[in-house]
Structure 1
């Protein structure tokens, strides 16, 4: 199964005609495409469950909440899905957005809770070797490059040394790995295979952070 060219064309048309009149006129087409995309996401989950434990799949709505946005276009011309891992001991989540010119896959810890972020920073402060090893892992680098994406502080977080040798990691407010895809890659026959390969490449990252967030600095379990 692959992402159909007709589905991609629909998203491109919606980008150009982002209004309720056009969407209503083409609603039957959207309903059919939505069904096809859901089947694609379910197949994606099936592959993912062969090498990870998944709690739930969430498919994002195409309708935008415009109440507090300057952009009043009613639709987000994309198909997006996320997968949550199972249990307190398995941290991290997977995300995929299919959007003309902006298709991306991501995973990690976007806005970790205050306590989790502090625990990760304390781990970095004590010894960031294992995290650096993740960022140098061949498969990780091939898919995501050599750094985490996400917002960061301009200086050191309160209570941490601004001269610390791993200040670039300590300043992070989230830890996200992102892989971008071209439109041609989205429509290629091996798109699903590349997605699954990327999800697999996230596992050492998830395993390490799961271990950090379920233990104290002495390595003792807290769950």
Structure 2
């Protein structure tokens, strides 16, 4: 359980920060930033690393260089905001290629980013390469039962009531796949993600870190299925 915690002022503070063009704004609000953004974020990252290393010992959990909202001066165009209005944490197996991403565990504080406009929790494969996309689709086409079994498992369903997000799909069946396949929607997916919106009550709860840990343990089960699909020749 975190000593610091997010509050109902965290999201408004992030949105206000994202509108500031004065580089000195954060200096005048440093104490508030530390109390309701930076310290809770750092403690959350440390809790996730310590609690989840037994579940996913091969994952890297970042705990340094995170929680910063100030943009680098050389990346700020005149008249644009000097600060980000979002923060994110992502944990995954280190990638063997700089061109590919592995399935990951993700937490995003994204109050100004559509379509989420809030806090989200996610797991799965985001922005796969064409080769990765083909391997996962082939695994589903051969045998989608492991995914169906996971999504219908009572424990998993208690945390995530839906399966894959169906918002990012190809308009038609990819070449080489049966258009009459029973899982044709999954075969048209461009990303393989499970996403959950986090309510304000949960986000500001003193038990938020352990709530994330419990959800991540379930998302890790999905990631293992996707990793197995990617590892298959």
- Pick the TM interval, shorter chain: 0.7 to 0.9
Q: What do you get for the CA RMSD once the two structures are aligned?
A: 2.7
Q: In 2, Cα distance between the equivalents of 1:214 and 1:76?
A: 36
Residue 99 of structure 1 and its aligned partner are, at CA, apart by: 4.9
Residue of structure 1 equivalent to 2:231: 214
Could you tell me how far apart the structure 1 residues matched to 2:149 and 2:119 are? 27
1:101-180 aligned at under 5 Å gives the runs 102-149=118-165, 151-180=168-197
* 1:121–1:14 Cα change, 3 Å: closer
* 1:55 equivalent in structure 2: 60
For 2:62, what is the secondary structure of its paired residue?
strand
1:193 aligns with: 210
Residues 56 and 85 in structure 1, CA contact (< 8 A), matched pair in contact too: no
**Superposition deviation, residue 24 in structure 1:** 4.1
- Between Structure 1 and Structure 2, how many residues are aligned? 210
CA separation of 1:85 and 1:3: change in aligned 2, threshold 3 A: farther
Question: Which range moved further: 30-39 or 147-156?
Answer: 30-39
Structure 2: how far apart are the matches of 1:77 and 1:151? 24
Secondary structure of the residue that 2:56 maps to in structure 1?
A: coil
Instruction: Please list every run of 5 or more consecutive structure 2 residues that lacks an aligned counterpart in the other structure.
Output: 97-101, 112-116
**Structure 1 Cα separation of the partners of residues 61 and 202 of structure 2:** 26
TM-score by length of 1: 0.80
Match of 1:19 in 2: 20
TM-score, scaled relative to structure 2: 0.77
Deviation at 1:197, TM superposition (A): 0.7
Unaligned runs of 5+ in 1: 217-223
Asked if structure 1 preserves the Cα contact closer than 8 Å seen for 2:135 and 2:232, the reply is no
Question: What are the superposed Cα offsets for residues 166-186 of structure 1, whole Å, 9 maximum, x if unpaired?
Answer: 111100011111111111111
Residues 85 and 28 of structure 1, relative CA distance in 2, 3 Å threshold: same
Deviation at 1:201, TM superposition (A): 0.8
